[in-house]
Structure 1
């Protein structure tokens, strides 16, 4: 695709000019000669890259289009959203394996013949040349990381990436003498990169379900000089390393998968601590990791907090404790797990050595305030499990854990909250920022002199062809698969897609500008989609024509319709979208309403953040004053 054909979003334009997205919105309103959209939707328009570049230069806002931005726009316009990772991973692999450098001086036909996995015809060659030039200019590692970073930014709502801080924390538990580290669900390679350390010292091994993600992980490791063997496949059902015994295993597994292979794997020899319940896929991953650690080897697994106390998993947790496999549980800050908004845990385990006496204590640690404090606590515990720990930790006798509940939640055993250094000040500043944001985001609305609206229904508009109404299947095979799905719960909670599925008949792909509504929900919800995403079951999609409707305007009135009393015995409101009323307003008037609806959403989000920060500050101060970590301000 040529530069003249390439399109960019408002966010891309902001990066080109080095400004915020608000500045781009202001330019569109203030300057009549700003390039008109050439595609996309009213809420997510696309602009011609060549026209934008010309306009920015004429305004003195861009002297020269950066080479990396030009390359990224070529990449974005060479593949649709669902194929973007495949293209990025193939380009990264070509860089990592030094396939591009020798081709810079070659003819187009020579390049096309040398890279059949990237080039379908000679029109693809400019993208290959641009990628080779970036790699030659910046070096392979920086070029690969640029492609990876831009992909994750472009799909921030779809891509689950473990934060570098948590990856480094998990890798810090690996003993210095370890020479082989394994991650059976390695994603884009974040944990293996963190564990790789000094190039050539540690050999990394990984497995990943998605072939494109596995390819990208291998490329990211290769350009760092980290020896790696990354293979494709589901580690639970298609183990690519059945005989591997690593010094350490790090893993951030998928959470809450029901289709992890319960029936197929019922008699699997890996379940030495008990058959994992159907709804406890995380306990299957824990045992898979233990099976691939050498005797005495370490295992560090990121776990959802519910795995510590679900009734269904009591037997497996009990056996992990009795055998001496579970050594410590660490409570992490909120947001540490990419697939969960709840504060996750780290489980630290060791594969038992035959004949060794089982440990008598398990270490419980709180890292919600200062994660860096847990490494010294762990080292001290390893030296002497009976020694009392300082700070946010406590050694708990095994006998105290083996009650009826087998609850491994650290907060249950930490007798008092520990105020981390600067914790009060940080939380107070967070509360002040959130309350200031509330004032700024107060919705702007005035009394209307016009009286009731003239209404129509979405069903009538659908019959007139002004919008489409689509329904996702009532039942879908979910819980496993390489395709990420936006679920009804995700829509209600405003979170990233957490479902897993496969491409199957009836699958609905939401486009930017679509409105997605749960068929039944206790909480009214209607979400405007801003990037392409596959949808799970029991969702309705309203796809308005952008020439007639503002999607945020439609979504605001759908939320009100979803509040109507329900006849459902479960208490969930069932919304018949076709009966939902909508005012007859001009597009300009709709956009005014839509902007206020968006402002209201931001205000409600800030209100939740302020409430959370206020409650946290109250708990910290109360606990600190009563346990001696804090004292009244001397100025009082």
Structure 2
């Protein structure tokens, strides 16, 4: 990020520039009094002037020249803020993936802008496209695009949910043969489709992704690998971009535990052949969406939260998946195998039934929580002889044993327990300590204040004075509509996601601009979001447009979330009147920005707190089971 000090770098960036570990940079800061001081950031994540750092490294003999790729990354990183970085990275990747590099290097600025109208947003983009093309000419398009992707995920490691490569590989290897069309309806940055790719020309990759920038990056990553791909933007459940697709295989790592997945508007959807998914079981909607897009006999592999195996609300659908022969296996994976949760996730292996198929008599259960190595042998053995009692590292469970009152698909329930792998409790304890350390690092920087409550004024009063504008969108239900403008819904705001729909942006539409604040007018979950890209607003939203010379939008959103949280403790929902009565402290703009930064840090802290809680619960269960089985014993205390 650029400041009045010019381009800035993090401690991790400095380590890469000098070819050392981050510990070395921390050591330099302690040992050398002339090491450049921070020019921005926070106490836990400081920013340093790139020019000052480069000068110090050269004076110390620790840097001969800036690596070409790192120099490009610093230019990219300092050309966009955190919220716009993915957009820039995806556009640079797309420019390299879909144009001949020589043309980009030889054309003048206007020709580049004319050739890439969707990728050039402003004049600063063209020099970056040239620099990226030059690196791709020297290193190759695939290495360059993957470098940009890797640096982006490292810079946003706590925000970006990336499925681990080894899990993506395993999911792809469970599909045989990998030819024809492979579909991922929640493809993110394309990890599963890349894992399934194999040799160029072997398959056609089809993907859908809610975030347009992520979809563009996924398309570029596939293109530079020579994989024939069609990736489109949109929410696959509420806005299916491939209604007629019948893929040979479907791989999916869907978002977990989404309550706003479209329960009301999709109640009569023909995809629910195994039953209407309960409101709180979005994963069962994704499973059925995947089956609906597999050809008869096509394979489906879905990463699932462990709770989906035994929730009472989903037992009817689980029963139907078993009775029809759609569910073939459930695999319990090690902790950390899912990007959304530290709890051990499951893989559901399914097959879309074909006319004339015999209903399978067994379902394979595999407990691979200690190691993934047993999964493929168990699956191959099961496919060769599904009725065999023991199949590799798992067990073929008779269907009749699964169809009880609970329809519990947890593998551990059907497998003879073996001794826990040595050191599992210790490793989990280490993970918990690491999570707690991350929590400590993310503690917001705040201090006691002797001044007490701040003088404040209501939103309604600020609106009357013209300091901000408040606009209410009509009530009702969001209806699908054709258009090319992003449509932001109340569900998007509550779930903290970008706009998932499209609208026409007609004369009667309420359009939010970057820097506006949007609040749902009803709902039990406190929510307020700062708009990052121009969007048409769906129903039941309150648009707050503060004067940018008077208010920091993150300051406004943070206090509105706090006000909504207080209201939700005493009322069933935050209403239109509640939001207008919310009070904002009277503070100078510079002070508001400090508050806004802390509010953003609190969101990161909340995510880390959730991960630490999940890891702590896992450790509790491991220790409890180990003590009961004799695998663990109490250690004498000093």
Length-normalised TM-score, structure 1: 0.71
1:193–1:604 Cα change, 3 Å:
closer
Instruction: Provide the rounded CA distance (Å) in 1 between the counterparts of 2:553 and 2:487.
Output: 27
Deviation at 1:169, TM superposition (A): 2.3
Deviation at 1:249, TM superposition (A): 2.7
Instruction: Provide the rounded CA distance (Å) in 1 between the counterparts of 2:599 and 2:9.
Output: 21
1:566–1:178 Cα change, 3 Å:
closer
Within the alignment, does 1:300 sit opposite 2:301 as a pair? yes
SS of 2:427's partner is: helix
1:139–1:566 Cα change, 3 Å:
closer
Match of 1:15?
A: 13
Deviations 1:252-296 (A, max 9, x none): 346656449976985x5x766567778876556545544555554
SS of 1:576's partner is: helix
Instruction: Provide the rounded CA distance (Å) in 1 between the counterparts of 2:356 and 2:438.
Output: 60
Within the alignment, does 1:208 sit opposite 2:211 as a pair? no
Instruction: Provide the rounded CA distance (Å) in 2 between the counterparts of 1:544 and 1:46.
Output: 29
CA contact (8 A) 1:488 1:538 kept: no
Instruction: Provide the rounded CA distance (Å) in 2 between the counterparts of 1:591 and 1:275.
Output: 46
Deviations 1:420-451 (A, max 9, x none): 44311112223444556677788898877x57
Deviation at 1:476, TM superposition (A): 7.3
Deviation at 1:141, TM superposition (A): 0.6
1:122-201 mapped onto 2 (5 Å cutoff): 125-152=126-153, 161-175=162-176, 177-185=177-185, 186-197=187-198, 199-200=199-200
Where in structure 2 are there 5+ consecutive unaligned residues?
none
Within the alignment, does 1:506 sit opposite 2:507 as a pair? no
1:136–1:160 Cα change, 3 Å:
same
Deviations 1:298-325 (A, max 9, x none): 2212345565456675554333212222
Which of residues 592, 615, 618 is equivalent to 2:620?
A: 618
Match of 2:566?
A: 563
SS of 1:502's partner is: strand
Instruction: Provide the rounded CA distance (Å) in 1 between the counterparts of 2:593 and 2:403.
Output: 60
Deviation at 1:407, TM superposition (A): 4.2
1:410-489 mapped onto 2 (5 Å cutoff): 410=411, 413=414, 419-434=420-435, 450=450, 452-453=452-453, 455-459=455-459, 462=462, 468=468, 473=473, 475=475
Instruction: Provide the rounded CA distance (Å) in 2 between the counterparts of 1:356 and 1:371.
Output: 30
Instruction: Provide the rounded CA distance (Å) in 1 between the counterparts of 2:4 and 2:273.
Output: 55
Deviates more, 1:208-217 or 1:184-193: 208-217
CA contact (8 A) 2:218 2:231 kept: no
SS of 1:195's partner is: helix
Q: What RMSD in Å do the two structures reach over aligned CA positions?
A: 5.8
Deviation at 1:379, TM superposition (A): 3.1
CA contact (8 A) 1:302 1:337 kept: yes
Within the alignment, does 1:397 sit opposite 2:398 as a pair? yes
Match of 2:629?
A: 627
1:212–1:498 Cα change, 3 Å:
closer
Match of 1:230?
A: 230
How many pairs align? 609
Instruction: Provide the rounded CA distance (Å) in 2 between the counterparts of 1:540 and 1:122.
Output: 31
Deviation at 1:632, TM superposition (A): 4.8
Deviation at 1:225, TM superposition (A): 3.6
Length-normalised TM-score, structure 2: 0.71
CA contact (8 A) 2:310 2:407 kept: yes
Instruction: Provide the rounded CA distance (Å) in 1 between the counterparts of 2:548 and 2:157.
Output: 26
Instruction: Provide the rounded CA distance (Å) in 2 between the counterparts of 1:125 and 1:194.
Output: 32
CA contact (8 A) 1:6 1:74 kept: no
SS of 2:431's partner is: helix
Match of 1:357?
A: 358
Deviation at 1:125, TM superposition (A): 4.5
CA contact (8 A) 1:370 1:420 kept: no
Instruction: Provide the rounded CA distance (Å) in 2 between the counterparts of 1:260 and 1:573.
Output: 22
CA contact (8 A) 1:16 1:65 kept: no
1:309–1:532 Cα change, 3 Å:
farther
Deviations 1:170-207 (A, max 9, x none): 112123x443351142443211211123x247323313
Deviations 1:338-380 (A, max 9, x none): 5678765321012445545322221233444544443333334
SS of 2:300's partner is: strand
Instruction: Provide the rounded CA distance (Å) in 2 between the counterparts of 1:548 and 1:233.
Output: 33
Bigger relative contact order (CA 8 A; separation at least 6) = 1
1:591–1:360 Cα change, 3 Å:
same
Deviation at 1:70, TM superposition (A): 5.3
Deviations 1:29-84 (A, max 9, x none): x99x99989xxx999x999x9xx554444555787565445545666788899987
1:302–1:467 Cα change, 3 Å:
farther
Match of 1:92?
A: 93
Instruction: Provide the rounded CA distance (Å) in 2 between the counterparts of 1:178 and 1:160.
Output: 25
